[in-house]
Structure 1
Amino acid sequence: MATPVQRQYWELKNQNPEAVLFFRLGDFYELFFEDAHIGSKVLGITLTARHKGTENEMPMAGFPHHAHKDYLEKLIETGYKVAIAEQREDDEGKISRYIARLVTPGSTLETGTLKPDAAQYLLALEHNEAQQTFALAYADVSTGEFCTAQFKDEARWWDELYKLAPKEILLSTTDFNKESLTRRLPKALFTPRPEIKIKAAVQTLSDHFPANHLNVAGIDKMETLLVLSARVLNYLADTQKTELRHINQIKHSNVDEVMALDAQTFRHLEIFGSLNPGEHNATLWQTLKRPYSAPGGRLLRYWLCNPLIDLEKINRRLSAVQELGEKPNLRTPLEAQLKTLPDLERLLARLSSGRGNARDLAFFRDAFTVFPELAKTLQLAEADLIGKTPTSLSVFGDLTELLQKALVENPPLEITQGGMFTRGFKAELDTLLSLTQDSKTWLENYVETCRKQTGITHLKATYSRNFGFTLEVSKSHAGKAPESWTRRQTLVNAERFTTPELTEYETKALSAEAESFALEHRLFIELKDEVLKFLPQIQTAAQNLAIVDALLSLSRTARAYRWTAPTLRNDVGYLNIQGGKHPVVEQLSTESFVANNLKMNPESRFHLISGPNMAGKSTFLRQNALIILLAQIGSFVPAKKAELSLYDRIFTRVGASDNLAAGQSTFFVEMAETARILHAATPKSFVVLDEIGRGTSTFDGISLAWAITESLHNDLKANTLFATHYHELIDLAEDLNGAANWHVSVTQNEDGIVFLRHIKPGGISDSFGIEVAKLAGVPESVVQNAREVLRRLESESLLSGKPNLFSTAAVTEKVVEVPAYSAVESYLADINPDDLSPKEALEMVYKLKNL
């Protein structure tokens, strides 16, 4: 027969069958049955069992309640949900248990599970087949962000899901194919949720958000978005078990106001993740000088995911970045002040959700103390993006004074054990603290009196929850205890006694301490509520400071790497980059990076780039795409000069990869990525193609590459960089009005080929594959055999009169021959005169004289 505790357990477990249940028993959390096995496997805690070996065996594992934070965070990071069951006692002393909160990957506020510079999204989605729309609603409970978005294009919908990278997705029975979602978002947790009718959804949202807010947000007529928003809000309410005051507005995203970037572009350009495992620093994100604050980091990440297509907005950012770079009297104190700020957004979320403590209030106090000097510094700025920030920092004077007066310098994390408030803040608290302190003094004096009266020099006072205050005497001196002392506990080496005076002291001391703890807890709640009265103002200040921090990050990056302010224009298809460099490769390379130029316009919009592997074609392609992306987030760029039109999208088809999980070959993936480009590119797009058609037969590959070239040039008219080894395309590019041939320069010497990495006009018909194989370490015997086979194939082609796809002789007069550079020419090819100081130029003259 089940005990009352077991019945409580099963009642709570049945309410949350999908969650690991932390069941509070006294000072421990216990896990039972399958949860115990999970705890043993994931957390490494000892697995035991009650009634072991019987049909009633109950596997169990547990840990002290004060250690639950680390175990909770580990389970969440592993993808589990956790239900926390706390215990409470009623007036009659009866103990019951209840679910205090449900912690899930998409609704966690645990600091150990949150990445400081990344959002933690909970998301709901739906495909409305009748309206042919794809909708999203998502929230980050750790910051209060709540957004909606709607798409006509399914591909853009998937792109947004990739960018958001939700930790948890709420699905109803009618939602999009879960298998497809799981394949594309393998790290997300999928949680089923009941359907919500539109009337109930509107009521839920109206009860939570201010009056008329749905209309202001622009979604009051969008039924799908209303239902999804209610699904997210209801789930957060179910998990947090508290009021979510910091979620106080819905922002509807207009997806047409930002540049479209798909998943393959993020991967190929290595914006956040490297294509080479282990090279974590080889990304644009790691190359940028990071913001000092966590909100600034999250905002900069958002900017990288959503480049602007509005010229005015871009120029506002550029102006601010330039001003921060030009004014050390603004920049230097600003950097020092921003370094001191905590994550105000997440602190506010914790406080609003009932998770905060006095240490969090102290963080607010310290931040508010910095605000006046920060506002004074920001008043030096003229850029309008920074101009509103000083005003938003100036409203916390009275609150700052209250927090300074109330809190001790370093308050404890626990809010029920006192020690949070200063003497002089509340007279009532001072009285209770004095009683507690006086009683401690009395105890010290009493122990000393007992020592003198009994002659027991090593007598000491102890306290335990079960026996209260006692006097501890070693076994050898226990016989000296007066008859008026009452034995309470026997230990191995000591005896513990109580006395009438000690019992009276215990009643007074514990009563005063308990009252002081209770009063401090009430004062904490009151002080927390005072801070939350400023919730909207704190959110505004935090958001403004995040903008300043992100702009400062871009300014620091520009100064550190000597980047240049780009010039953007409102026409179509114009791109002029002088001395462009790859922002990541330049910083990581141990060699001097060779800068290159690129000039495109509607009359020269398709550039075919030939040349050997390893010569730098891929780097050149990607660096220009990254320069465009950086320019449109409002950043300076790695170039001597950059002038460009606004681009609506960047497309990339780079490298070889397969998708074995989906049963897709390398060639299929390549064609799928290319198809996406051909369906979605516009004259305002920038397209990067690095090899097309290599995963099939030569004739198939050339045919596809040829047709794709014509489509991009003739129909889509997008600015395109196309790197290829199909030399047959060189003739095609010469025949297309808006196309041009370019090549990556190399030279040959007695040791083989030398990569010069300069992009020069004209095509080049030799891929130098055998020479590259030699450089890569292919055995000399294999290299020589390959040369003989190549000569034989070329000879057979000439004798048969048939064109040979592998021939290096089938080069038209339009093709640039590879020069055999002299030592002087090779040396000069690597020199950029504009980069030389007078002293360096003189040194090079002497070096040339000796060549």
Structure 2
Amino acid sequence: MSKQTPMMEQYLKIKANHQDAFLFYRLGDFYEMFYDDAVHAARELEITLTKRNNGKSEGIPMCGVPYHSADNYIRLLIDKGYKVAICEQVEDPKTAKGVVKREVIQVITPGTVMESNMLKDGENNYIASLSHFSDGSNVIVYNDLSTGENRLVLINQGWDAVIHELFNQPIKEVVISSELPEDLQRELRDRLQVTLSYQDEVTFNAEYRNLSENINNDTRLMEAFSRLLNYIQHTQKRSLDHLQKAEVIELNEYLSLDMYSKRNLELTETIIKKGKHGSLLWVLDQTVTAMGSRMLKKWIERPLLDRTRIENRHDIVEGFYQGFMERDSIRETLKSVYDLERLAGRIAFGNVNARDLIQLKQSLEKIPELKTVLNQFNHKQIKHLANELNYPEHLLELLQSSIVEDPPISIKEGSIIKDGYNEQLDTYRDASRNGKQWIAALEKQEKQDTNIKSLKIGFNRVFGYYIEVTKANLHLLPEGRYERKQTLTNAERFITPELKEKEQLILEAEDKSIELEYQLFVYIRDQIKEYIPDLQHLADVVSNIDVLQAFAHVSESNNYKRPRFVKNKLHIKNGRHPVVEKVMKDGSFVPNDVELDQEKNILLITGPNMSGKSTYMRQLALTVIMGQVGCFVPCDEADLIIFDQIFTRIGAADDLVSGQSTFMVEMLEANHAITNATDRSLILLDEIGRGTSTYDGMALAQAIVEYIHNNIHAKTLFSTHYHELTSLEKTLAHLKNIHVRAEEYEGNVVFLHQMKEGAADKSYGIQVAKLASLPEALIDRASTILTELESGNKKEQMTKDQTVGKIDAGQLSFFVEEQAQIVNTKASRNEKESGAHEMVAQELSDLDLFDMTPMDAMNALYKLQKKLK
């Protein structure tokens, strides 16, 4: 390899330590990238790829982005899961000998973003670390660098529980040991779509001892916490004064929602569009502040199990609900409260500007007003919240006395500190202002002395102050006093001894004023750091108030009712789906009751597609979740049970990343439910068994129902199109049949969306296909086939030109008796072929269907069919 220039040697040395990141290497007003970084960045950012000669014929690939607009390019790379190492000059080029010294001052990663334009106001930006131990336990640590939060979770339930936990949190990056098995690393990448980073050094830094007070010297928690702290410190390369004490999350204190349930119930985002609109969060988020919106999302993701805590939230919501005028005042006041959490983070991080400090000041000024409104409630818990609203008054006084009301964005160009705050600054400003007044007076005097009306005194950064005279008036200037400074096309510029002397005083005062203002700003920022714990506590209280008033606001707007909590009997009168009724808007949503108790803890739901079975199941789960996060619920009245877990198997989807079919996903989700559920759990299973043959599907569906009934005793909703399963009501004491009403009118099905006791008598599949606008010829043919199957008078074998698709001989009709007719027809047709077929016919003839259960009949028919084949 040919010898590199000193600058490229410096670049390659720095790049060697940051192989997993794009190195933004500062050269003048640009960040430059070279070699592979340049090739990849040019493609990802869609910018021009050039070459640096470097004395070699082929050149070095090179591209760059302007320093002043680098944030936009960094954001694009971070959004794609990349990392960016920022390399800056760390010494003055004027005093440097040789190549200016450069260092990486920060590594920006998907999980360590701090710039406000790269963050979403209402969402946390978590980075997580995962530590896997030899005893099979795992520890996950979450950190939101923008707010300083630290949360730890110990998981003893195996690797699947780790995946479910990480999936349910909005993480962008996971920090792991390089020794984590490759198959586990691959699963993290593929299933969670996160950036993996590596940190093997787990020695705990004594500087962060105060952050670990809640860990109680658990070595596993300490190692996991150290892994993440060391990684953050390594990448951010600065003091992190805003990090909060670690909170250890006890999973047994929260309702458990696996990754399937969170996805199927669309709690925080929809399945198809992956957006907030159409989710439960979308309905409930009537918060006013960004930090309140983030807290609401965390509450939805972790509903409570403790009845006292739940009912305390409901008490406060009820207080806000009743005091609607005061609640409106709270909402109006909160509109002027900015994101205290992230402001505190930016102050500690050192990337705060003067406008941020004005937002902080305006927020603190609103706290007394908010406290006054809260004290108007005659409510113990709300008054307690008011008492918690303590803010640092000295900080407010500091901000009020120091920062101008409308400062510029830049903190290095002056005009941010108020007059009267610093005596030396006032002196500089006075010299600058008086000097400019002197300049104005001098211009007026020079015009009079020379009688040149167009004479003017100007200034530019290159030549300083000057007297400009047009060439037509040069003869009017007295000789000897004016010194030529610059020649223009139509004028000459001069300087006089008096002007030169004053220029030095003015410029010196301005430069010193700007430099002092920056120093004062840094001093003020460092003073504010001492109040960060106070600001974070205040942010937490304000967020709680915001979420609870939002619950009251949405409950009043949507006619939600406060639920009661009971031990065994769940009763919901006229329950509604909170999202569906919001989307419909026209008030046409049909409410339904739900009744589950120890006597009847399984509801077997039948009815046609599109009739509302899945909606009915989902609305129960959402009602439970809303109740356990502290919100009122969509119904006329509700007695709810506090559930420990919710399991759902709703909807059909392949898991292409894992190479799993729809049916495999269905079985995995069903297995996860029946393996982990308790008698305090809620299970929702929709159309189990539809992904395989009818015999297999029905057998599995019945076996699952029986297993839940006999072994788990969980409250369960089980919807199915296997109408034969409705006979289980006779053999399973705790199972009850319900169905969704539908009527047929002039060949079309009319969905009434009403739940009634008993089993449905038809599936209306052809009518639903008709609603989907399938070709009329296809609908007619399907109707003919259905008539033949149901009557048992199918006389000719279907040919390819007569059918749209083949009918599987193993598919069941609606009733077992009809299956007997179908098989009987086939047997009679094949009797002539061999003596074996005659034997099958005889066996079929000997069957006494009326003394057989549906499953016995199916098994017998299945055996006969195998003999025929």
TM-score calculated relative to the size of structure 2: 0.86
Which amino acid in 2 is paired with 1:108?
V
Distance 2:47 2:484 in 1: 39
Which amino acid in 2 is paired with 1:191?
S
Which amino acid in 1 is paired with 2:812?
L
Q: Within 5 A, what are the aligned runs for 1:85-124? A: 85-90=87-92, 93-94=95-96, 95-124=100-129
Distance 2:364 2:283 in 1: 32
Q: Deviations over 1:528-562 (max 9, x none)?
A: 23322222211111101100101111111101101
Report how far residue 160 of structure 1 moved.
1.5
Distance of aligned partners of 1:503 and 1:70 in 2 relative to their CA distance in 1, 3 Å threshold: farther
Distance 2:28 2:491 in 1: 28
Query: 3-state DSSP class of the match of 1:655?
Result: coil
Distance 1:283 1:13 in 2: 44
CA contact (8 A) 1:609 1:743 kept: yes
Match in the other structure for 1:252: 248
CA contact (8 A) 1:209 1:248 kept: no
Which amino acid in 2 is paired with 1:745?
R
CA contact (8 A) 1:87 1:96 kept: yes
Report how far residue 766 of structure 1 moved.
1.0
Q: Deviations over 1:269-306 (max 9, x none)?
A: 11122233387522111112431111111110001000
Query: 3-state DSSP class of the match of 1:462?
Result: strand
Is 1:189 equivalent to 2:184 in the alignment? no
Query: 3-state DSSP class of the match of 1:30?
Result: strand
Report how far residue 489 of structure 1 moved.
5.7
Q: Deviations over 1:351-379 (max 9, x none)?
A: 01111122222122111111111111122
Q: 1:432 aligns with which of 428, 433, 438?
A: 428
Report how far residue 790 of structure 1 moved.
1.1
Distance 1:619 1:528 in 2: 53
Distance 1:449 1:458 in 2: 10
Query: 3-state DSSP class of the match of 2:728?
Result: helix
Q: 2:138 aligns with which of 134, 150, 154?
A: 134
Distance of aligned partners of 1:771 and 1:561 in 2 relative to their CA distance in 1, 3 Å threshold: same
Match in the other structure for 1:173: 178
How many residues matched? 795
Match in the other structure for 1:145: 149
Query: 3-state DSSP class of the match of 2:101?
Result: strand
> Considering only CA atoms, is the larger Rg found in Structure 1 or Structure 2?
2
Distance of aligned partners of 1:365 and 1:279 in 2 relative to their CA distance in 1, 3 Å threshold: closer
Q: Deviations over 1:297-348 (max 9, x none)?
A: 1110001000111110100000111100101243121111111101000000
Report how far residue 600 of structure 1 moved.
0.4
CA contact (8 A) 2:742 2:753 kept: yes
Distance 1:576 1:741 in 2: 17
Is 1:14 equivalent to 2:20 in the alignment? no
Report how far residue 233 of structure 1 moved.
0.9
Q: Within 5 A, what are the aligned runs for 1:266-665? A: 266-277=262-273, 281-381=277-377, 385-449=381-445, 453=450, 455=452, 457=454, 459=456, 461-464=458-461, 466-470=462-466, 498-569=495-566, 571-572=567-568, 574-589=569-584, 592-665=588-661
Gaps of 5+ in 1: 813-851
Distance 2:648 2:545 in 1: 32
Distance of aligned partners of 1:803 and 1:64 in 2 relative to their CA distance in 1, 3 Å threshold: closer
Distance 2:473 2:621 in 1: 85
CA contact (8 A) 1:456 1:477 kept: no
Distance 2:32 2:492 in 1: 34
Distance of aligned partners of 1:87 and 1:773 in 2 relative to their CA distance in 1, 3 Å threshold: same
Match in the other structure for 2:208: 208
Which amino acid in 2 is paired with 1:709?
V
Of 720-729 and 730-739, more deviation after overlay is shown by: 730-739
Distance of aligned partners of 1:515 and 1:756 in 2 relative to their CA distance in 1, 3 Å threshold: same
Report how far residue 242 of structure 1 moved.
1.6
Of 514-523 and 27-36, more deviation after overlay is shown by: 27-36
TM-score calculated relative to the size of structure 1: 0.88
Distance of aligned partners of 1:248 and 1:659 in 2 relative to their CA distance in 1, 3 Å threshold: closer
Distance 1:366 1:512 in 2: 32
Match in the other structure for 1:833: none
Report how far residue 208 of structure 1 moved.
1.6
Which amino acid in 1 is paired with 2:208?
H
Report how far residue 174 of structure 1 moved.
1.9
Match in the other structure for 1:840: none
Report how far residue 125 of structure 1 moved.
0.5
Q: Deviations over 1:508-534 (max 9, x none)?
A: 222111221222222222222332222
CA contact (8 A) 2:611 2:753 kept: yes
Of 397-406 and 726-735, more deviation after overlay is shown by: 397-406
Distance 2:437 2:191 in 1: 67
Match in the other structure for 1:832: none
Report how far residue 237 of structure 1 moved.
1.5
Distance of aligned partners of 1:19 and 1:365 in 2 relative to their CA distance in 1, 3 Å threshold: same
Distance 1:524 1:127 in 2: 45
Query: 3-state DSSP class of the match of 2:168?
Result: helix
Alpha-carbon RMSD across the aligned residues, in angstroms, is: 2.7
CA contact (8 A) 1:616 1:744 kept: yes
Distance of aligned partners of 1:255 and 1:88 in 2 relative to their CA distance in 1, 3 Å threshold: same
Distance of aligned partners of 1:714 and 1:491 in 2 relative to their CA distance in 1, 3 Å threshold: farther
Report how far residue 72 of structure 1 moved.
2.6
Q: Deviations over 1:396-455 (max 9, x none)?
A: 223222221222112222222221111122222111111111222233344455566383
Q: Within 5 A, what are the aligned runs for 1:674-823? A: 674-796=670-792, 805-807=812-814
Distance of aligned partners of 1:96 and 1:496 in 2 relative to their CA distance in 1, 3 Å threshold: farther
Report how far residue 686 of structure 1 moved.
0.5
Distance 2:367 2:395 in 1: 12
Distance 1:804 1:56 in 2: 69
CA contact (8 A) 1:581 1:596 kept: yes
Report how far residue 488 of structure 1 moved.
5.5
Q: Deviations over 1:452-475 (max 9, x none)?
A: 6383727552312x4444556678
Query: 3-state DSSP class of the match of 2:657?
Result: helix
Distance 2:672 2:108 in 1: 39
CA contact (8 A) 1:734 1:741 kept: no
Of 333-342 and 517-526, more deviation after overlay is shown by: 517-526
Query: 3-state DSSP class of the match of 1:164?
Result: coil
Which amino acid in 2 is paired with 1:523?
L
Q: 1:48 aligns with which of 47, 50, 73?
A: 50
Query: 3-state DSSP class of the match of 1:15?
Result: coil
How many percent identity over aligned positions? 35
Of 87-96 and 14-23, more deviation after overlay is shown by: 87-96
Of 506-515 and 637-646, more deviation after overlay is shown by: 506-515
Distance 1:497 1:618 in 2: 86
Of 63-72 and 594-603, more deviation after overlay is shown by: 63-72
Distance 1:442 1:141 in 2: 51
CA contact (8 A) 2:571 2:640 kept: yes
Distance of aligned partners of 1:430 and 1:609 in 2 relative to their CA distance in 1, 3 Å threshold: same
Of 597-606 and 394-403, more deviation after overlay is shown by: 394-403
